[in-house]
Amino acid sequence: MSRRALPQSPQEYDSRYQSQLINELEIRDGQSVKKGERVELNGQDNTQAVLISANGTKYKIQVDNNGNLSTTSV
């Protein structure tokens, strides 16, 4: 997923711009993970959980239908 830039602000106050900006911020806030929140990833939508080790190596975490966890270097 690529990141989108926020819309550039106009030189003068514009209520439509403010509404657009608030809407965009609310959408992005809803897509972020909050402290203490439960996160469920669905393997059907290509969402991946990737952890980074102390030396900077990235590992994708996977689970099979029996609940067995495995990692793959990415």
Give 5-63 pLDDT, tens digit per residue: 887 888 999 999 999 999 999 998 988 889 999 888 876 777 888 999 999 999 999 99
Separation in Å, CA 51 to CA 14, 21, 39:
42, 32, 14
Residues 6+ apart with CB under 8 A from 2: none
Residue 2: band (very low, low, confident or very high) from pLDDT cuts 50, 70, 90: low
d(CA 48, CA 39): 12
- Find out whether 62 and 74 touch, Cβ atoms under 8 Å: no
- Where are the chain's structural domains? 46-74
What pLDDT score was predicted for residue 7? 77
| Global pTM exceeds 0.85 | no
